[in-house]
A and B are shown apart, each in its own frame.
Chain A
Amino acid sequence: MDLGKDKMLEMYRMMTRIRLFETQVRDLATASEIPGFVHVSIGEEASATGVCAALRPADRITSTHRGHGHLIAKGGRLDRMMAEIFGKRTGYCKGKGGSMHIVDFSLGILGANGIVGGGIPIATGSALAAVVTQRDEVTACFFGDGASNEGTFHESLNLAAVWKLPVIYVCENNGFGEFTPMQTVTSVTDIAVRAQAYGIPGIVIDGNDVLEVYRCASEAIARARAGEGPTLIECKTYRWEGHVVGEQAFLGKASYRSEEEVAEWKARCPLIRFEKFAAESGMISAAELKKIRAETEVELEAAVKFARESPLPDPAEVTDDVFSG
């Protein structure tokens, strides 16, 4: 597949935006400048980026509690995302959602979601809407390895297979459901094999290789658009950070993974990997990548400034929007 240089640079920019945004969010949470539960996906940037790069603007996604990356990859603005995490009125959800519930409907984002597996039926219904209205749209559904043990995963894959819905199920297998190693609570080594039970294709891919993710997602999306039904894509990846920022406070000295394991995965960093590819291919210069990083730093700085300086919601707004109309 010939991606073209512009597409590749766009993907590098998205991964960079995710990495820098989440690093900043982690640091702000650690410094207690932002409240609540914050789950970052540092190390997992390639799966969000590769899938969203293969989607069209009118296509939709559902995301998870670890959703900043998906939102950014689908086109979310860093300033309004950061403002939402700060709980400000200018945030995407007027300060009522927070880190776990940021959306931009105009970008086809149907939710980051605080319930593990909660987005899977919603994505399935979104794909159904495309079928009923005969719109040429695909929905990409992100979830983790933990969600693949939820009933929603199994129910939804069955339904989407029966109705041949235009949805792709993207399992970002980062090896842990919170602090529990995936293999201790999961009946299979590769979650993708569960697709067989529903008569749909299931593939395992290197989730840290953005080009492979893009290629495989593109094929699954084309299949979905052609009316051939859903695909399950398992992206093998790893989160460098904890399940939640600040988890040491309640884990204490307990550890659920080794430093060696983390280091091993850091060596497989999706960004460094792309940078190596760029250098080897000769298509993209180091200066071009450097420029993207510098531009992202400026964008992020402005986002933090915007969030800090934005007004807080008025307490009188608390009961607004319980109902529509």
Chain B
Amino acid sequence: MAQITYREALNQALREELDRDERVFIMGEEVGYFGGAFKVTDGLLAVYGEKRVRDTPIAELTIAGAGVGAAMGGLKPIVELMTINFGLLAMDQIVNHAAKIHYMFGGRAKVPLVIRAPQGAGHQLGAQHSQSLEAYFLHCPGLLVAIPATPADAKGLLKSCIRQDNPVIFLEHESLYGVKGDVPEGEYLTPLGQASVLREGKDITIVSYSKCVYDAVAAAEALENEGVDAEVIDLRTLNPLDTATVVESVRKTGKAMVVYEGWRTGGAGAEIAAQIYEAAFDHLDAPVERVATLDTPIPYNARLEKAALPGAADIVKVAERMV
């Protein structure tokens, strides 16, 4: 198995699906000649041509809407929003159109659209370039939300998303593009709605996704030295949400913490915590805790930014209090 980066894994998935299905095409800002703002689509234009790898104007609402229309017109568009922050300009097409068309039109139309977007903080890019907005999409029925942490899942989830018939918000973390990991070559699909247990443990369940998974694993290793045996779960998709795997773990450990980079209030962690309460209340020995970004715009200064974001030390501190 090859060790490749998260970025290369995504690129590989795109190439394989472009090869596999002629209905697949890519459009977005800078995806062609420049190969993508984060180089995820690097080299694709040269292989697949301008018809299937399309540089668009900076017009997020229409890029997303054209994706909806092209999907309804029989294609499988992959739309790249340069970052999810700019994706807010596309919210009408995502929420009012992509998410609703199948239902609102009586199940007669399909919108097989994948919207890829980088997100996340950590690079001193300030409040408008550092957000993690998965909760906005998780809130909306009709949208799948995939949010891979590892290079293998980046590839496997993207391929699975492209092959199914629903609109997907596919969120990549900007800090993960250079992360390397084992990625199977060729056909490799990660099922949607199946969490991955990255580390087994009996004392506490740490549920996470995207970049925070790495913080959770680091925290679990630190906790091990203190005699605390933590289980770490990477959700991989937020819709569908694999509640069963989480609940099974909580039944074993009796304690659960959700770690995520979205804002604490109204974040995905709140939903996950609520589902744990609903399904495993009797098994809980402590309240479910959330370790998340503080309820503040992301600041520019590095010390302030770090203070706003969740990290391994925060996880350790909260876990120590819980066990």
Contact = CB atoms under 8 A, between A and B. Distances in A.
Interface in B85-123: 92-93, 96-97, 101-110
B64 interface: yes
A62 B93 CA distance: 14
A60 B62 contact: no
A177 to B, nearest CB: 17
Interface string A100-136: 0101010000110111001011111111111111000
A205 to B, nearest CB: 25
Interface stretch (B35-43, B65-73, B149-157, B181-189): B65-73
Contacts of A75: none
A284 interface: no
B110 A324 contact: yes
Contacts of B102: 321-324
A325 interface: yes
A121 B103 CA distance: 20
Contacts of B52: 132
Contacts of A123: 69
Given A94-B107, A105-B105, A122-B97, A132 B61 contact: no
Contact of B61 (A101, A110, A152, A162): A152
A291 B98 CA distance: 43
B51 to A, nearest CB: 6
A182 interface: no
Contacts of B25: 132
Interface residues of A, number: 47
Contact of A321 (B62, B77, B96, B107): B107
Nearest to A153: B62
A115 B97 contact: yes
Contacts of A131: 51
Contacts of B178: none
Contacts of A124: 62, 65-66, 69
B69 A323 contact: no
Contacts of B109: 103, 105, 110-111
Contacts of B245: none
Given A93-B108, A155-B59, A155-B61, A125 B66 contact: yes
B68 A132 contact: no
A114 B141 CA distance: 18
A93 B105 contact: yes
12 contacts: A92-B108, A103-B105, A115-B97, A118-B92, A125-B70, A129-B70, A129-B74, A129-B75, A131-B51, A159-B66, A321-B102, A322-B141
Interface of B: 23, 25, 51-52, 54, 56-57, 59, 61-75, 77, 92-93, 96-97, 101-110, 141-142, 144, 164-166
